[in-house]
Amino acid sequence: MDIVGESHRGHVREKNEDRIDWDKEAGVVVLADGLGGLPFGDEAARLAVESVINIAQAHHGADHTWLESGGEPADLIHLANRAVLSYTERDRRYEGMGTTLALLCTAPDEVAIAHVGDSRIYLLRNNQLKLLTTDHTPVQRALSNGEISEDEAKFSPERNVLERALGAVTHAEPDVERLPREPGDIFLLCSDGLTAHLDDTEIEEVLKDPNKDYLEERCHALIRQALERGGRDNISVILVAL
């Protein structure tokens, strides 16, 4: 398993409120996007990511990944949410801070994903890109119900409003999916700073570009293109090749 990741502040934001991390031995990869409209989003993202990694590192076998050892992805997200909420309970200055979370866990024969918010997880398999997550936003819900068009969703003033997040709202129940692992799979975890500027077709073109032999090249190309389109938000990308 190869993993590369990159996070950029972008051209507009004063600070980077995204956090990324992974542990190969535990087989856990995580990305969080702190809510920029609320105070201390960067702190919420840091707490969530550190909580996930620390728990996964402490509870996997010497020769088993965290998922292979019986770990449940939803439990990791619930514990990360508890870590953020506990922090605000100890210090009311941080009350209301929140973050999205996207999580990928691996075992020899399967992969499990979980997410809360609008950070996304994609799978490139047989040179075809598939979005595995659904944004937890009212705009996405309206789009899925056929109430608005894709163009209306793209430019809606409420496109960044979340229905689920860690810490900031009480509802932090993740969507979880397990799928068989296949050689050659490439998973992409990204914050909305990427998908605000690149559509799925453009992301697919970068990921299957035959001129980009290494994950690092593809990761950097995604970040660079988002920056060239304006870089209005923090941009984070993790690529996992199985």
pLDDT at 38: 65
Buried residues in 110-122 as b, exposed as e (16+ CB within 10 A) = ebbbbbbbbbbbb
Q: What is the mean pLDDT of residues 219-242?
A: 97
CATH number, position 218: 3.60.40.10
Structural domain including 212 reads 2-241
Q: How far is CA 162 from CA 73, 100, 140, 205, 240, in A?
A: 21, 9, 10, 29, 26
- List Cβ neighbours of 38 (8 Å cut-off, separation of 6 or more): 96, 97, 98, 168
Q: What is the mean pLDDT of residues 14-38?
A: 93
Each residue of 92-117: pLDDT tens digit?
887 889 999 999 999 999 999 999 99
26, with CB counted inside 10 A (0-12, 13-18, 19+), is: buried
Each residue of 31-67: pLDDT tens digit?
999 987 667 899 999 999 999 999 999 988 888 999 9
Residue 130: phi, psi to the nearest 5?
-130, 130
Domains in the chain, number: 1
| Mean pLDDT computed over every residue of the chain | 92
Each residue of 161-203: pLDDT tens digit?
888 999 966 568 999 999 999 999 999 999 999 999 999 999 9
